[in-house]
Structure 1
């Protein structure tokens, strides 16, 4: 009569594990470890990178001089100087706030602005510091050349994600996705300019400052659409190197 170990059964009080049981367990362990390692590699490769968004102290305590625009959000229009093309720079503040209160009295005026940039790809926002980092420029308004008028790029239907320009630019990583929804809504509600991150470029850009159809701030109804894939329709205009997406309706036909 065969002993239990010889029949392929494992019994705890026998010291020897049957060969076929041992082979099965070794195979399972190897398969499990290999499978978990492969899954880890696959998930790491398929996970979207937070990107190279970062802070950039380009000004080193100095100031940019330009004209202040406040619609749809505070924008500094910096004239070109031959070597550098004209720029339209979104402005944000410290914490989860914009600079609307400080910018509105300076609308249309020549101003000096200092602070730290956040940058990701073609997205850039200047985070304005306190005190003298936003003030009337010492140069005369007439010294600055006139800003170029907006350029109409037509009507578009785009798929992407609504984010706040500060965190998406690199203040947080990741600065997008569902995990960032509450933070994005707080920033946008506090006056931080919102941006639309498109899955397809328009004129070489995938980041757009969001605005209402009339050129005012982003419609409040879009706060429910942040941090998730969404399809928006509207017109796009160019101001220097900044594209502004004026949203008219959601993909389901509801007007913004």
Structure 2
């Protein structure tokens, strides 16, 4: 399928579905169908931005209709007289719920490989939302992290006074160096569309703190029989991307080995 604009891709996916979709589902399907050649660092944020801007500026002329928090459908489909259990009367605006209902945790990564990072004093901790999306360097991320030996959690730490990349690098040299081969992290800094990490202004409440703690426990400990997200936990999960420096070094080592045999 050829290259589409963001609006063309969104409408294609919603038409294919024939009903409401969460913006994250829309994003996943666009990537799965390879409707675009470039996705940027935060394709999910781009999708919801296009949806919200269209609704806010075009009003009733927008091809989209918001049917629930962060959930959208094609207006032509939901306004069909045939009733659908998914549709209710919700204000058609890009509410703060869509942008800020993420909670304290803005982004996270699960079971990233230690060997996929080129460890140095300021390592690059690279990840992306989807295959094809631009990579983001999370080395400056702040938050909570877990060290794993296989699937077992061996250490829980926080990166507040020092960023996550530096904290993880320290664990390659300290008493924990032989006790972990993977790590997970939960970040407090939001990822912008151009891949920068920025602080957010979150209003703390007992409920928000409880939701965050529950989410970290559920995701981090991952009960074998019930892999689910905590209620209200909508942070974006990132997939690990290997540091290109590792491949370059492996190539150089191979060339040096071949030269030595000549």
TM bucket (normalised to shorter chain) is: under 0.3
Structure richer in helix, relative to its length: 2
Q: TM-score, normalised to structure 1's length?
A: 0.23
Q: TM-score, normalised to structure 2's length?
A: 0.23
Radius of gyration: which is bigger? 1
Structure richer in strand, relative to its length: 1
Tell which has more relative contact order, 1 or 2 (C-alpha 8 A, sep 6+): 2
